[in-house]
């Protein structure tokens, strides 16, 4: 039996997971099985986010993307995941890390091509204003002063999710 922890300590299993993504309908399917536990939110962190993410076999973390204003870091805990960047594909195993500096136009994505669940820790900034570019599809995310919207590269908004 696990001991009951008191703040500021936390058992990640006690954090309710969220599944899928907020992407527009036409881009959601590959990420629907992604499971995230927002540890940073549960601990009241406001300057950076921390998630434990589980990818079952075949699942994607996200569409390939890069951030204009936010750094992102991942640390593989269990299983193997394929990191896809402008340089190609490489497999990351437990104990391996990857980092994605803000403003570097090198789209990244994690895909579970294996037969077992992959788990990784994800850490990133919490900028109020941010643009996320998706180089493989006609989409960007624009976040400004607490609002967020997905739009096409010409600025046309995606229709509301069904």
Domains of the chain, start order = 22-127 (2.60.120.10)
Q: Give the Cβ contact number of residue 117 at 10 Å.
A: 15
Q: Give residue-wise pLDDT tens across range 39-51.
A: 999 999 999 999 9
The pLDDT of residue 7 is 86
Residue 1's pLDDT band (cuts 50, 70, 90) = low
Burial class (CB in 10 A: 0-12, 13-18, 19+), 160: exposed
Using one digit for the tens of pLDDT, what is the confidence trace for 74-133?
A: 999 999 999 999 999 999 999 999 999 999 999 999 999 999 999 999 999 998 899 999
Backbone dihedral angles phi then psi of residue 67, each to the nearest 5 degrees: -105, 135
């Amino acid at each position: 039996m696990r001991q009951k922890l008191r703040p500021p300590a936390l058992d990640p299993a006690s954090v309710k997971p969220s599944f899928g993504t907020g992407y527009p309908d036409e881009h959601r399917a590959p990420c629907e099985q992604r499971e995230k536990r927002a540890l940073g939110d549960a601990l009241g962190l406001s300057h950076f986010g921390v998630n434990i993410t589980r990818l079952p076999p075949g699942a994607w973390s996200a569409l390939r993307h890069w951030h204009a204003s936010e750094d992102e870091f991942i640390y593989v805990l269990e299983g193997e995941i394929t990191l896809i960047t402008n340089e190609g594909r490489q497999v990351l195993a437990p104990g391996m890390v990857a980092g994605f500096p803000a403003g570097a136009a090198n789209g990244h994505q994690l895909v579970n091509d294996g037969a077992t669940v992959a788990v990784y820790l994800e850490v990133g900034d919490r900028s109020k204003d941010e643009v996320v570019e998706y180089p493989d599809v006609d989409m960007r995310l624009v976040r400004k002063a607490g609002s967020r919207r997905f739009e096409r590269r010409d600025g046309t908004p995606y229709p509301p999710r069904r």
